[in-house]
Amino acid sequence: MQATSLMPEPRTDHVAGWKQQARITAWRCKAQLLHHGRLWRAMGWTAAGNALGQGLRAAASILVARLLQPAAFGQFSLLAATANTAGTVSLLGTGVLLTRNVSQWRERQRADLGRLLAASYGGCCVVAGSIALWTWLCPKQVGTLLLGSSAPLETEVRLLGVLILIQAWLSLTGAALAGFEAFDRIAKAQALQGSLLVPLMSLGALTVGLRGAMLASFVAALAAAIMQQLWLQALCKAHQIELRWREMHRSFRQLGSAWTAISVASLSNVPVQWLAWLLLARAPNGAVEVGIFAAANQWRGLLLFLPSVAERANLPILTCAWSETNWAAYRALVKAQALAGSLSATLLGLGIALASPWVMSWYGASYESRWPVLVLATGAGILAAWSTPAGTAILAAGRYSWGAFTNLGWAAVLILVAAPMAWRWGATGLGVAYVAASASLLVLNHWLWRKHCRGQSGAFVEPTFVSRGDRSAGGWAVLGGGAC
């Protein structure tokens, strides 16, 4: 008779389960650290480039404001804003689409990416070329539309047409480089542009006036665009990506709906801001009021540079996390963007608002008494900074129509408030309009993200581990991983 032990044999299946769970946990931690490492590295380079570029641009603007009369500085600010607006419109939303799809397609869908790049260049050339040709053929009409009948600046308007082409080219190559996560190259181009602006704009404004400042802006933007184009060509060659000009029409069919939604979002953002500035320019003493608001708005742009850095750096990485259904990393990256960009912008904005009389006095004695405009501009910047993480998450999820909806709401509020208030209160009224529009954008973005884009509530899809002999040298080999 065989004896039966009262102590059962130890089972090892639960031990194996613990080991498997430990490996899964290690893989999760490694994935989280990898995503965060890419984010902080990208943010570091982008912050360095933007800080240097924006700082030098602000210094050049202060020097030009001191060298030119207030009315001439207002005209220069409106022309520069028009160049940025037209350059952005020329992309028709291609910038966001390029950044998102380059990050997804650069390894596995090279043919699709080649068609998309060719279509982007072609569309940009057609739209930007048409706008530039109009400014060259009708400089008097364009000058009257922008600056009023009292300032027919034909040469400056023709320079504006060339600058629009360069700005569109610069924005297009920058968006493609961001998709390749080549943020170090973008930072170097921004540093080059800013370092050229300070001496050239000062020399041009001192010797030739408004025309010299416009010419300096063109030279600096051209140098940065050429540098970015050379780097983009090198990256495409390294990834074996060829521009497929004969097949670019397929990109319009493949991405037609997304392109339409992003174009609507783009057209309802920067052009609407330009329209609000144009309303201010038509108000009593409009040129001076535009100059005052331009001085305050530069600090709003400086305030938003960290949120924009975080947005540009996080979009390709956040897209990868969404396509891999890694909801934990997706939500963690959104929180990291809010911490790095929005919170820092809030602290910086409070400091600028407290020092607003002193800051406005840098532009001249006539600017010091208009410090409430700077306070309103910083308030609008803080609200916009807190809406940026949710907006980035919506774009990373591919919900382009929702982004168009929120931008349309922002644009409607801005114009409806600016139309009466800019005429009555000048730059102060336009500042109030920016605050109201930024508040509406914050509410819409966070409502849509919390309702639809926070990631699925189900469990995260666990990795499938291969045998020990098939592991890569760098860590766990995972089957079915994302393209990123």
Q: pLDDT means per 10 residues in the chain (484 residues)?
A: 45 48 47 56 71 80 84 82 77 74 79 84 85 87 72 79 90 87 85 89 87 90 93 90 80 64 69 84 83 87 80 77 75 80 86 90 83 93 90 80 83 91 89 94 87 51 36 33 43
- Phi and psi at 235, nearest 5°, equal -70, -40
* H-assigned helices in 338-426: 344-354, 356-361, 365-368, 371-396, 400-425
Amino acid of residue 201: M
Count the Cβ atoms, other than its own, within 10 Å of residue 474.
Answer: 7
Distance (Å) of CA 207 to CA 212, 317, 384: 7, 47, 38
| Sign of the dihedral through C-alpha 442, 448, 451, 456 | negative
pLDDT at 464: 36
Domain spans, the chain: 28-455
Contact (Cβ atoms closer than 8 angstroms) between residue 47 and residue 128: no
Question: Is the whole-model pTM more than 0.85?
Answer: no
Q: How many other C-beta atoms are found inside a 10 Å radius of the C-beta of residue 4?
A: 6
Tokens of 279: 């309303």
Q: And the tokens for 310?
A: 């975080």
Residues 6+ apart with CB under 8 A from 382: 303, 345, 346, 349, 350
For residue 85 the two structure tokens come to 């607006």
| Count of other CB atoms within 10 angstroms of residue 200 | 19
Q: In 3D, which of 174, 215, 223 has the Cα closest to residue 50?
A: 174
Burial class (CB in 10 A: 0-12, 13-18, 19+), 95: buried
- What whole-number distance in Å separates Cα of residue 240 and Cα of residue 397? 27
Non-local (6+) Cβ contacts of 334 within 8 A are 318, 389, 390, 392, 393, 449
Q: What pLDDT was estimated at residue 455?
A: 52
Single out the residue of 404, 431, 454, 146 nearest to residue 274, CA to CA: 146
Identify which of 85, 97, 268, 269 has the alpha carbon closest to the alpha carbon of residue 168.
85
How far apart CA 394 and CA 390 sit, in angstroms, is 6
SS3 285: coil
Distance from the first to the final alpha carbon of the chain: 64
Q: Which two tokens stand for residue 307?
A: 């949120």
Q: Which residues contact 204 (CB under 8 A, 6 or more apart)?
A: 211, 212, 213, 214, 215, 216
Query: Residue 401, SS3?
Result: helix
Coil, strand, or helix at residue 113?
helix
User: CA-to-CA distance for 176 and 179, rounded, in angstroms?
Assistant: 5
Query: Of 262, 216, 256, 227, nearest to 395 (Cα)?
Result: 262
Structure tokens at 374: 């700077």
Which residue in 363, 234, 255, 332 sits closest to 34, CA to CA?
Answer: 332
The pLDDT of residue 350: 92
- Residue 369: what residue type? S
Please give the DSSP secondary-structure letter assigned to residue 372.
H
In degrees rounded to 5, what are phi and psi of residue 153?
A: -100, 85
Write the single-letter amino acid at 410.
Answer: W
Question: If you ran DSSP here, which 8-state letter would residue 475 be given?
Answer: B
* β-strand partners of 465: 478
* Tally of CB atoms within 10 A around 126: 12
CA angle 327, 456, 445 (to 5 degrees): 85
- Do residues 333 and 314 touch, judged by C-beta distance below 8 A? yes
Largest CA distance in the chain: 116
- Please identify which residue in the block is written with the tokens 């074996």: 240
